[in-house]
Amino acid sequence: MSIDPHVTIDFFINGTPCTAYDGETVIQAARRAGVSIPHFCWHPNLSVPGNCRICMVEVESDNGDPWFDIGCNMPVTAGMRVLTESDTVKKLRRDTMQFITLNHPVDCGICNKSGECLLQDYHYEHNGRPSLSIDRKNHATKFYPLSDRIMLDNERCIMCTRCVRFTHEVSKTHALGAVHRGDHSLIRPAENADFNEDVYSDNVIDICPVGALLSRENLDHARVWYTKATPSVCPGCARGCSIDVWHRKPEWALKALDPSLNARIERVTPRENAEVNGPWICNKGRDLARIWERPRATMALVGGTPAALDEAVERASQLMAEAARGVVLVSSWGSNEELASLHEVLTGRLASRFTARVKPDHVPQPGELLEDDILIMADKNPNRRAALALFPALEGEVAAAVADADLVLVWGEGVTDADLPAGARVVRLGSYQYETALRADVFLPISIQTERDGHYTNAQGVVTAFSSCFAPKGDVVHAEGLFQALAGNRKALHRVLAGAVS
């Protein structure tokens, strides 16, 4: 049933007057009213199967004879009086939890979902007692490779079918299904589909209410309570999906083990944003650690030789001051703040001698899905729209755009030495270890997204903030202040150097 937010219905939850939209179910209206009704199979972005029964509620009637039904599939009607905490409802929940945990293994101590598992939460909240069964539990496949990315533990599965519905209704791959019946039911890949080809497959890990679906890459990395989520934006394409970057909490920093583990990305998950990505992200977003955790450049270079940061900044500033026909190749991975800083200096002190062109830092890789009608966009850069609002686009090849330049400032990735004129001076601002850094006249290491705060503007014009997870190391500085220093702003230079020292 479709929901009409323009038509409202008055009803009661636990004696409190509430308002529902026409077409809303009890669980939806209760959620908006701040009343929590437990649920396993129900998900706000999927269809309603009504198979777990834990969301049972009581409805009072005028003749004093109440009736009971699942809140996920019960439409709200005018004057309805719903009880979610009556003694009968509580008993029904306890009985349902006894049934759901009948064959569930007691392996919370080694389960990756422990700490964010709905079954754990609901057991303590609505049941909290040992199993009444004296029979042995039925055993199922403990570790089944559902795909190259996901491991399935059938013993933990409660057959909520969220994962199946996701592949049928969201990713549309129809890659998962259920086989057998009753307590022998199993989730399995469909015979005519390959779950490895589902580029949104890892979303089933998030929506699984128990520890049945596990990321094979993140298995046993860190307990959830040792980590925290920092809000960020996926830079994998122009969609700019909202994400959470999970990393170790400072108070749980490792001391005896490798300290680099304290600055490691443990996992990436979607951060719900109705304007951009809803509750989903693609698998490329999950794999951002492979991009962000490449070998970093942390030392300034002058003529390919390590140099003090102040010496390198001074040399780059000198080269820019001497240039007569300078070209800046603008990063489409730069934040709104960095782009604004560059625009300020290029329309100020450097306006008469420098031009700028927005380049792509990343292009589609072989085998990568170019675009689809769900989230993935063909432009593999997160902030091209904001960059183009300030600077013209690079038309054609890089070599043609910089052919007459006597100095080229390359910000970010995507430009090789072969693209640059042989006689021009080259200043590079980069974050990763490349041979191009050694061949530049000056190379300055700059921070990446996980080391600074900022904003991106996606292809639809939605501006989303991201926050820093880790502190920059070595000589790494923020490009926002560096642009001002390179243009000869002495105060900015001192701030840049002070930031690197601190």
> pLDDT tens digits, residue range 212-223?
999 999 888 889
Element (H, E) at 457: strand 454-457
pLDDT at 463: 98
Q: Is the pLDDT of residue 198 over 50?
A: yes
Average confidence score pLDDT of the chain: 93
Least Cα distance to 331 among 206, 441, 456, 209 occurs for: 456
Domains of the chain as residue ranges with CATH: 4-100 (3.10.20.740), 108-215 (3.30.70.20), 229-292 (2.20.25.90), 301-501 (3.40.50.740)
Task: Give the model confidence (pLDDT) of 306-360 as tens digits.
Answer: 999 999 999 999 999 999 999 999 999 999 999 999 999 998 878 889 999 999 9
pLDDT for residue 502: 44
Most confident of 136-145, 255-264, 285-294: 285-294
The predicted model gives 398-403 an average pLDDT of 93
Encode pLDDT of 275-305 as tens digits.
999 999 999 999 999 999 999 999 999 999 9
Selection from 275, 290, 266, 350 nearest residue 316 by Cα: 350
pLDDT higher than threshold 80 for residue 112: yes
Q: CA 125, CA 39: separation in Å to the nearest integer?
A: 13
- HEC-encoded secondary structure of 149-213: CEEECCCCCCCCCHHHHHHHHCCCCCCEEEECCHHHCEEEECCCCCHHHCCCCCHHHHHCCCCCE
Mean pLDDT of 78-89: 96
Tell me what pLDDT residue 280 has. Answer: 98
Q: Tens of pLDDT along 223-247? A: 999 999 999 999 999 999 999 999 9
Q: Is the pLDDT of residue 258 over 80?
A: yes
Instruction: For residue range 21-35, list pLDDT tens digits in order.
Output: 999 999 999 999 999
Instruction: Give counts: helices (H), strands (E), the chain.
Output: 14, 22
pLDDT of 492 > 80? The answer is no
Kind of pairing between the strands at 326-331 and 463-466: unpaired
pLDDT score at 138? 85
Residue range 57-64: mean pLDDT, rounded: 91
Residue 488 has pLDDT above 80, yes or no: no
Provide, rounded to the nearest whole percent, the portion of the chain with pLDDT above 70.
98
Angstrom CA distances, 391 to 34, 168, 330, 342, 359, stand at 46, 43, 8, 10, 10
Separation of alpha carbons 83 and 89, rounded Å = 8
**Is the distance from CB of 248 to CB of 266 less than 8 angstroms?**
yes
Does the pLDDT at position 408 exceed 90?
A: yes
CA distances from 157 to 78, 177, 387, 395 (A): 38, 13, 47, 53
* Model confidence pLDDT, tens digit, residues 37-47: 999 999 999 99
Per-residue pLDDT for 437 more than 50? yes
Burial of 118 (0-12, 13-18, 19+ CB in 10 A): middle
Tokens standing for residue 453: 């705060």
Residues 6 or more apart whose CB falls under 8 angstroms from that of 297 comprise: 430, 431, 432, 433, 434, 437, 443, 445
Residue 466 pLDDT more than 80? yes
Q: What is the pLDDT of residue 5?
A: 83
Are 499 and 446 contacting, i.e. CB atoms less than 8 angstroms apart? no
